[in-house]
């Protein structure tokens, strides 16, 4: 995404003020980069959704109520408690699990991502042994090492982005993407069967893409002309 923005700036000598994208682009690196450049970035976070998450309780040192445990967010891959079921305490630099126990800082690791390296801080559970929630929290409840949770260097930017996306005005503005961003590609896929490129090489792909864009623009122009003529005919009939 950052490469695309740089290319637009170099090609058209113009800056981007706002960018709307799907959840695949709401990575920590992209969110931080948009903040640094002062670009309004609207993109849903790719995370487990949980309405009224019971983990966000007034006192995270107190266990989640028994009747609310089943409402805690579950990671679709691991089938265990999602990271959002753990509450971070910035002052103490530790997490609190649904049982009210702590996860302390255990080290750091750098992970390579499509956008570049990202530093992760690792936290491990301090007292996971014998916990009643272990089967819902860890793949191996009998493991000596406690539950592992990570927090990367872009987490604060991600939290600000989450707050921004939760605002009603952001949701309303994001609806524009459904028309401007999705409609042209939907027409190209369905009407023109443009689901993959048939030619190899950059030159061939560029030529094929330009033909498809030309066809789309001509179709749109024809529709506008037809609508204009229909309006003129209607006005002429009313005058008669």
Q: What is the pLDDT of residues 92-117, one digit of tens each?
A: 999 999 999 999 999 999 999 888 89
Instruction: Examine the domain organization and report whether 163 and 187 are in the same domain.
Output: no
Which among 164, 222, 180 is positioned nearest to 42, based on CA atoms? 164
Instruction: Examine the domain organization and report whether 197 and 108 are in the same domain.
Output: no
22: tokens are 């799907």
- Dihedral over Cα of 86, 89, 93, 99: its sign: negative
Choose the final residue of a domain: 174, 190, 205: 174
What pLDDT does residue 240 have?
66
User: Residue 175: which pLDDT band, with cuts at 50, 70 and 90?
Assistant: confident
What pLDDT does residue 114 have?
84
Instruction: Examine the domain organization and report whether 199 and 142 are in the same domain.
Output: no
- Dihedral over Cα of 189, 193, 197, 203: its sign: negative
Instruction: Examine the domain organization and report whether 209 and 160 are in the same domain.
Output: no
Domain count, the chain: 2
56: tokens are 């966000």
Instruction: Examine the domain organization and report whether 161 and 195 are in the same domain.
Output: no
Instruction: Examine the domain organization and report whether 68 and 117 are in the same domain.
Output: yes
Instruction: Examine the domain organization and report whether 36 and 153 are in the same domain.
Output: yes
Instruction: Examine the domain organization and report whether 114 and 182 are in the same domain.
Output: no
Say if residue 79 is exposed, middle or buried (CB neighbours under 10 Å; 0-12, 13-18, 19+).
exposed
Evaluate if residue 15 carries a pLDDT over 90.
Answer: no
Calculate what percentage of the chain has a pLDDT beyond 90: 76
Q: Which domain holds residue 12?
A: 2-174
Instruction: Examine the domain organization and report whether 81 and 8 are in the same domain.
Output: yes
What pLDDT does residue 142 have?
87
Choose the final residue of a domain: 156, 174, 192: 174
Instruction: Examine the domain organization and report whether 140 and 195 are in the same domain.
Output: no
For range 154-164, the mean pLDDT: 95
Instruction: Examine the domain organization and report whether 169 and 219 are in the same domain.
Output: no
Instruction: Examine the domain organization and report whether 113 and 212 are in the same domain.
Output: no
Note the pLDDT tens digit of each residue in 189-203: 998 899 999 999 999
Evaluate if residue 180 carries a pLDDT over 80.
Answer: no
Choose the final residue of a domain: 144, 174, 204: 174
DSSP state of 1: -
What pLDDT does residue 159 have?
95
Which among 43, 117, 126 is positioned nearest to 86, based on CA atoms? 126
């Amino acid at each position: 995404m950052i490469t695309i923005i740089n290319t637009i700036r170099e090609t058209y000598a113009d800056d981007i003020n706002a960018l709307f994208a799907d959840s695949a682009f709401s990575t920590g690196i992209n969110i931080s980069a948009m903040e640094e450049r002062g670009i309004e970035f609207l993109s849903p976070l790719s995370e487990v959704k949980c309405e009224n998450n019971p983990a966000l309780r007034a006192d995270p040192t107190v266990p989640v109520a028994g009747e609310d445990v089943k409402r805690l967010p579950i990671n679709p891959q691991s089938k265990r408690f999602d990271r959002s079921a753990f509450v971070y305490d910035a002052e103490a630099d530790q997490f609190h699990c649904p049982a009210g126990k702590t996860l302390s800082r255990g080290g750091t690791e750098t992970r390579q991502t499509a956008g570049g390296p990202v530093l992760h801080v690792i936290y491990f559970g301090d007292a996971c042994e014998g916990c009643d929630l272990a089967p819902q929290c860890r793949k191996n409840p009998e493991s000596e090492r406690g539950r592992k949770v990570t927090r990367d260097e872009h987490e604060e930017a991600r939290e600000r982005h989450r707050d921004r996306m939760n605002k009603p005005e952001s949701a309303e503005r994001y609806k524009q993407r459904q028309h401007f961003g999705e409609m042209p590609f939907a027409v190209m896929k369905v009407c023109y069967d443009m689901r993959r490129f048939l030619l190899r090489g950059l030159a061939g792909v560029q030529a094929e893409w330009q033909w498809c864009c030309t066809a789309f623009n001509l179709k749109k122009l024809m529709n506008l002309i037809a609508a204009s003529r229909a309006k003129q005919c209607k006005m002429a009939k009313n005058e008669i």
